[in-house]
Structure formats: C-alpha cells, structure tokens
Amino acid sequence: MRCCLSAPLAALSALPDPCQVLRSGALLTPALLRTAADALRGPAGRSRRHRDGLAAVHLELVTLAEDRAVITWYTGVPGTDDGFGHMLPAATEGEVVYGTHPGRLTRVAAEDGPVAHHYVELTDLEPGQTYYYQARSRGVAATPTPLHLVRGNAVGTNRHGLGSSGGPYSFTTPQPPPGRHLLSIALCNDLHLGETTAGLVTGIPLMRGITQELGRAPYPEIMSRAVVEEARLRGADVLLAAGDISAGGAAQDLAQARQILDGFGTHGQDYFVVRGNHDRPGHGNCRSCDGGCGDSFRDGFLDGDGPSYFARDLGGLRIVGLDTYEKDGNGADSGGLGAEQLAWFQARLRENKDQPTVVFGHHPLAVRDSVFPVTGGQRLGRRQARSILDAYANSPGVFLHHAGHTHRNKRTVLPQAPHVTMQEVSAVKDYPGGFCLLRIHSGGYAVNHYKAGDVAAREWAERSRRVAGGLWPHHALGRSVTDRNSMTARDLSGISRPAPSLPAQRQPHTVRPLL
C-alpha cells in the first residue's frame, strides 16, 4: 500500500535541529503517548458503547469575509470509536444563532436536513461588525476544535467565549477590499492523486495513518473533484495548483488529475499547474514501473521539452509558476530551482518590477511557527529563498506568493519584503480539505479559505483530522482565523477584468445552498 509522507510529518522521522526536537517533543509527547495507549489496547479495548447522548464538537470558523462566514462542526455518538479514535457520526439537525450582542442571538441560519458533518454559511453580514454566535445541534452547543498546543483560536477573531462550554463565540468581519472586483483565483495544492493512507510516518510505528472507509471512492479523488467544484461555485475565474498533484508521479494518477482539473476549464488558460516533490520524475514510487519511468508530470501538464516554469499575463496581472523541485533528490530534502530557472525568474522580476504579480510554487520560502520540527525539507533551500526575497524587495509589484507542501494554512509577511503576503494553503487531499479564494479588487485583495462543501469531502475531511495522533488540526487549520482569511489594501488598478469567456455557471463569491 502506498502512503504519504507529507513534509511536516516527514520531519518527525528526519534529524531536525536539537532545539526543534526539544520544543516539538514537549508539544507532541502527550499525543504520541495517547496514540500508543490506543495501539496497545487494540480495537477490542476501545469503547464501543452507544449512549443516547449527542456530542457536538470540532466547531470551526472556517471562512470569514466582509459579508459572510462559514461555520462547521461535527456531531457524534459519545463513547463510540471508529477505530481511529473518532466518534461515530450522529446525523441530526444543525443551526447557528447569532447577533451583534452576546445576549441577543436573534438571527438563525439552519440546515435543511439532518447531517453529522455540519456546514452553515451566514450571509448578508455587515463589514467591520462584531458578531456573536453559537452553533447547536438538538440543543447541544458545539465546542471548538482545541488548538491549545499553538495557543490558537479556531472559532473567532477574539477570545470571547473560549473556555466556556459552547460559547457564544465572536468574530469581527473585515472590510471588503477597496475598489471594484476584477477577478478571483482559487489557490490549491497537494492533491496527492493515488495516495491511499494519510499521515503514515515511516519509522514511527505508533503514528498510525488514516485510510478511507471500505467501499468509498479514494479520498484524493473525492477531495480534488470537490475542490474544483467548490472553486467554480465560489466564483474562481482561474485556478492555480501548486504541486504534489500526485502521490508518486505515476502516469495514471497524473492523467486522472488532469481529467479532474479539466473540469475547471482549459489547462494553460483557466488553470495552471506546477510540480511538487511528489511529482518528480522516475522516483520509483509508481504502480506501473520499478523506478525507470519517465516524467509523467511533463507528459501530463507540460508541452514538449520546454521549461517547467512559466509566466503569463492575465489582463495586466502576471502569474509566475515555479518548479521548486527542479533537481535530483529523494523528495525529502529542501526544494530548489535550477540555475537557469532562478536567473529567468529574477530577470522577469527586474524587467517588470511594478507589474501586479502572483507567484506560486510548491515549497514555501520560509516556514514559521510550526508545531512540528522544521527541517530543510519543508521549504526552498535557504540561499535561494534569500535571493528570491531580495528580488521581491526590489519588485513592488509582487503582492502574493502561494505555496503548498506544508499542508497547512499560514499567512506570513517577512520584513525583507513586507509588501508580499506569503500564503501557505492546506492540502486539498485531507483535513481541513479545501482551497483559498484570492479576490482581486482594484484597491486591494482578500484571501479566504473554503472547505469543500461536498458531503463525501466533508466526511473524509472529518475522518482525516485524526492524522498525527489527532494533532493535525493544530498544524493544518491555521493558528488563527487570519492565517486563512485576510484582506490587504493596495493599488491593483492596473489589472483589467478577464475576457468574458467563462462558463455562465460561475457566480462571484456566491453561496451554497444549505444542506
């Protein structure tokens, strides 16, 4: 069975800096011990009791924009266990009551039918307004996803209600990006088509991987299709997929990825793809060969023998796609651009330094504030990252750098290039299971994370939150709401609206019907 050794978990089996080991060990040891105890007890030792009660847990404020918020939670049967330390689902009603005063939650948004994986969208919110809310199922108030290891907050933009048993919790909506809306871009990564086990860590037997339920479709396929569909529903004009399109570079997995992504539009026009370390050529993790196969990523997404990096002009907006694993290696080492690519990239930045520019590539330039030990394998090589940041410092037009690889939502602004938002986006393939929507206005831009709303995607995302002994949310969701939702004001008026060649069903930043 093939598995994923995702970059942050790979760090646990690598040899990171001793200080990193001590710091992360203090955070991770309790969870590892819990996982060990579970493993020793075995399935027979786990509680299988079904009680009449209902537990409403894992409350998350996923999306927060100027006019809407998406709130999710899970209802389960207390005392049950699906074999991965997770309650069995309890399908029931769900509603969010909310208002502008904690004592007057007079507005209600309810789901249409009973579900266990709840997904409620609040709409018609006022920008810059503080709201209080409580999510309930059968009268039971949902409790937040705990993020104590990172001193995070999954449910609000302030700490109101944290420590209580169900809130109300609170958030303040941001202002919209100034000016008129120009276009929207879906930022996604780490589809891992072909993967069968999430979060399996080589060398740490107690860190169990999570597999799909028997009889269900493979989870990378479910999640990838759902994200493409969600991106279209949310009004994305363009989609960027920043690497690890496949689990192991197999031709059939990249062909399936191509087929799924073609559901969004035309490759090279509506959507763009770059390579991740899992997509590297001929690395022997392929179902159809013994390591001697060619470059299936090139066969699937690149034209002929040309470069694996590119720049495109979309009505004045420049999109630069980087191949951050243009090198030999086993995939676990740091990312790197070939000398020719790096020189090309720096020349592009020099020649049009003021042009509004979005850069995307698999490895981030820097990894800050990780719950797991940070090794070189989680980012681009330090020297290259520094030279790119130096180039950004002299290129005021660059405003966003989108990366994957870390499988987490994290917004970072570095002092070397404070005009550039470095946005790491969590993986498509598992929890929290979604993408970020970049909405570009003439006077600024917003980044908002959306979970895939498809029911099967919600089920797998919930199941896979148990990756890393249940620690995965501390890493992947984002320490704060602003790690996955932000607004930045800046002049982007040089960009024009894309030509109206888009399918009619795309609606700007629209909502899904409640289930």
Residues 6+ apart with CB under 8 A from 339: none
- The least distance separating Fe ion from the CB of residue 195, rounded to whole angstroms, comes to 9
Among 389, 377, 314, CA closest to 349 = 389
Closer to Fe ion by Cβ: residue 331 or 381: 331
Nearer to Fe ion, 9 or 125 (CB): 9
Shortest distance, CB of residue 46 to Fe ion, whole angstroms? 30
Least distance to Fe ion from the beta carbon of 24, Å?
A: 20
Our CB check for Fe ion shows the closer of 200 and 389 to be: 200
Nearest to 410 by CA among 488, 362, 482, 334: 482
Place of tokens 């399918």: 503
Euclidean distance between CA atoms 458 and 164, whole angstroms: 26
Query: Which residue number, 190 or 326, has a Cβ lying nearer to Fe ion?
Result: 190
Between 199 and 265, CB nearer to Fe ion:
199
Least CB distance to Fe ion at residue 428 (A): 9
Mask: binding to Fe ion, 124-143, rule CB under 5 A, as x and -?
A: --------------------
- Smallest gap from Cβ 50 to Fe ion, in A, equals 37
Interacting residues of 238 by C-beta distance below 8 A, sequence separation 6+: 183, 184, 185, 186, 270, 271, 272, 314, 319, 498
Q: Is the Cβ–Cβ distance between 408 and 415 less than 8 Å?
A: no
C-beta closer to Fe ion: residue 190 or 253: 190
Please state the closest distance from residue 192 (CB atom) to Fe ion, in A: 6
- Which tokens hold the place of 127? 């920008």
Nearer to Fe ion, 144 or 364 (CB): 364
Query: CB of 93 within 8 A of CB of 137?
Result: yes
Helices (DSSP H) in 174-290: which residue ranges?
219-233, 251-262
Shortest distance, CB of residue 281 to Fe ion, whole angstroms?
A: 17
Binding mask 158-197 for Fe ion (x = CB under 5 A): --------------------------------x-------
Contact (CB, 8 A) for 291 and 283:
yes
The tokens for 502 are: 């888009």
Distance, C-alpha 265 to centroid of its chain:
21
> How many residues interact with Fe ion (rule CB under 5 A)?
2
Q: Rank residues 143 and 378 by Cβ distance to Fe ion and give the closer one.
A: 378
Q: For Fe ion, give the closer residue by CB, 10 or 400.
A: 10
Nearest residue to 487 via CA among 453, 431, 446, 457 = 446
CB of 484 to Fe ion, least distance (A): 18
> Per-residue x/- marks for Fe ion, 190-219, CB under 5 A?
x-----------------------------
Our CB check for Fe ion shows the closer of 244 and 323 to be 244
Q: What are phi and psi of 255, to 5 degrees?
A: -65, -40
Residue 356 main-chain phi, psi, to 5 deg: -55, 125
Q: Considering beta carbons, is residue 116 or 257 the nearer one to Fe ion?
A: 257
The smaller minimum CB distance to Fe ion, of residues 54 and 204, is found at 204
Q: Which residue is nearest to Fe ion (CB)?
A: 244
Q: Output the smallest distance, CB 371 to Fe ion, in A.
A: 17
Q: Give the orientation angle of helix 219-233 with respect to helix 455-463, to 10 degrees.
A: 130
Q: Nearest approach, Cβ of 4 to Fe ion (angstroms)?
A: 7
CB of 358 to Fe ion, least distance (A): 21
Strand partners, 71: 61, 120
| Cβ partners under 8 Å of residue 272, min gap 6 | 238, 239, 240, 241, 310, 312, 319, 321, 360
Q: Is 124 exposed, middle or buried (0-12, 13-18, 19+ CB in 10 A)?
A: exposed
Q: How far is the CB of 364 from Fe ion (least distance, A)?
A: 12
- Min dist CB 350 to Fe ion, Å, is 31
Name which of 7 and 65 has its Cβ closer to Fe ion.
7
The Cα 451–Cα 436 span in angstroms is: 9
Q: Are 452 and 227 in contact (CB under 8 A)?
A: yes
Residues 220-279 that bind Fe ion (CB under 5 A): 244
Q: Radius of gyration over alpha carbons of the chain, in Å?
A: 22
Residues 6+ apart with CB under 8 A from 311: 318, 319, 320, 321, 348
Strand partners, 108: 97
Interface contacts to Fe ion, rule CB under 5 A:
190, 244
